[in-house]
Amino acid sequence: MKNSKEIRTCIGCRNKFHKDNLIRIVKLNDEVIIDSNKTSGGRGTYLCKDIKCFENVVKTKKLERVLKTNISDKKYNELRGVIFDR
């Protein structure tokens, strides 16, 4: 049985998932990265693997507010590529 302490909320759709089913995005040393191990320090948030959620987060700049940093369009495109072009 999966531990209920490992349940996280997607910032895009606000649905709850086990953290293994989410993508963790972290601001670490003023750089925004994908935390594939889900163990990096720094300010982080979770996003489900739905392209619609990602597009909503980009459109509303929610990721910038949550991570408290500015994110360029180039970085969003890099994140999109890493997440969805696997």
58 residue type, one letter: V
Give burial (CB, 10 Å; 0-12/13-18/19+) of 40. middle
CATH number of domain containing 57: 3.30.1230.10
Q: Average pLDDT of each block of 10 consecutive residues along the chain (86 residues)?
A: 80 94 91 86 90 93 94 89 77
Range of the domain at 38: 4-84
Please state the pTM of the whole predicted model: 0.84
Q: Which two tokens stand for residue 58?
A: 């980009």
**Number of domains forming the structure of the chain:** 1
The reported pLDDT for the residue numbered 1 is: 47
Query: Count of residues for the chain?
Result: 86
Distances (CA, A) of 32 to 1, 4, 43, 56: 32, 27, 10, 18
Nearest to 42 by CA among 65, 31, 26: 26
Task: Return the pLDDT at 86.
Answer: 55
Q: What is the pLDDT of residue 84?
A: 80
